[in-house]
Amino acid sequence: MKKISILANSILAFINYRKKRTVLGNAPSYIWLEPTNHCNLRCVMCPNGAGKVTVDKGYMDYDLFTRIIDQISPHTSALTLAVGGESLLHPRFVDMVHYSKSKGMKVLLNTNATLLYAGMSEELLDAELDYISFAFDGFTKESYEKARRGAKFNDTLGNINGFLRLKRSKRAEKPYCVLSVLNLGLGGCSESDKQRFISGLDEGIDEIRQREVASWGSIFKDETSFAHRAHEGVYPPCSRLWSTTCISWNGEVVPCIYNANREYVLGSLENASLLDIWNGEAMIGLRESMLDGSYLRRSPLCENCIVLGTPPLLGVPSGLRLSMADALVNFVGFGLEKFMLQFANKIRKNKFTTLTIKG
């Protein structure tokens, strides 16, 4: 029953977007929540690692976390427990996974995998995490360590392979394991390096994805030290405002994950409900400005956003594709996302933001 209502909610988001409604009858179904914005690395392509985060850093209070989950679980299909930091640094991260799962939510984690030691791997597998993406941005030691400053190629790869072996030895179906590599253009990587890397990876990986790099809204728009995709066009309105939202470690709600400095705070879950914030004055104003084209006056961050720079596919804008694909995956079955990405890449004639290269 929950699967049907999640699918219906996602279809309603699409209808509301097409009808240009700004007060929505659908709830956000795909939510990013930030356990912490602290990180143990200094990655070149991340606002945190590049020293561009100027707001206070901290860890989400566990009581606040459980109150938020109690509130959002009825309408949330997918919860990614990571935004601007390394979530495994949170001392109660595994409890967060257990609690969210106990409320029937699908839980996803993006991690740099440097802290994914055997004990942590065991706990995450036992918590039945649904999806894990290892952010491993380089097919060679040279390109990886240039991008992920502070991490060691062999150590991180050892953690990932250890996780995959443990998953196999436990005969665990979950999590779906993705290895994600950004196209940073940092050099030192030929096609044969790439193939050697792929063949040396433990067989338990479900999918390897190459991704184009986001400029984090306009944070890295003038950056030249790594490659990020230049827009071939701009496709407002941003449909994420109709289907997803993002919760910072301190309980403040922002429109999306690119608000690393909480540039556009919509409200705080310390004193308002998510659904009130979702249809509150700030959010309605942002949706209206997306529709009338004046959004840069409200949110200059959107200027160089990869979401606005990605064309619709079969009439579905890129922001809504995420939540609709997730609702469909929930409905039809695990692993469908991989085939949808492959299909999307085929019909976009190899232009991609995310490309499955093995799976």
Which among 274, 219, 236, 228 is positioned nearest to 32, based on CA atoms? 274
Tell me whether residue 309 or residue 359 sits nearer to ligand SF4 (CB atom). Answer: 309
Within positions 34 to 53, which residues make up the interface with ligand SF4, using CB under 6 A?
Answer: none
Instruction: Identify the residue among 81, 302, 322, 325 touching ligand SF4 (CB under 6 A).
Output: 302
| 120-153 burial: b if 16+ Cβ within 10 Å, else e | bbeebbebebbbbbbbbbbbbeebbbbbbeebeb
Residue 305 found at the interface with ligand SF4 (CB under 6 A)? yes
Which is nearer to ligand SF4, 157 or 260 (by Cβ)? Answer: 260
Long-range contacts of 198-203 (CB under 8 A, 24+ apart): 198/139, 198/357, 198/358, 201/157, 201/160, 201/161, 202/160, 202/161, 202/164, 202/165, 203/164
Least CB distance to ligand SF4 at residue 261 (A): 12
At its nearest, how many Å lie between ligand SF4 and the CB of residue 265? Answer: 13
**Site track for ligand SF4 across 181-220, x = CB under 6 A:** ------------------------------------x---
Rounded least distance, CB 217 to ligand SF4, Å:
4
From the CB of 251, what's the least distance to ligand SF4, in Å?
Answer: 19
Q: Decide: is 13 part of the binding site for ligand SF4 (CB under 6 A).
A: no
Number of residues forming the site for ligand SF4 (CB under 6 A): 13
Are the CB atoms for 241 and 285 separated by under 8 Å?
Answer: no
**Interaction of residue 283 with ligand SF4, rule CB under 6 A:** no
- Token couple for 155: 């150590």
Site for ligand SF4 in 235-274 (CB under 6 A): 238, 240-241, 255-256, 258
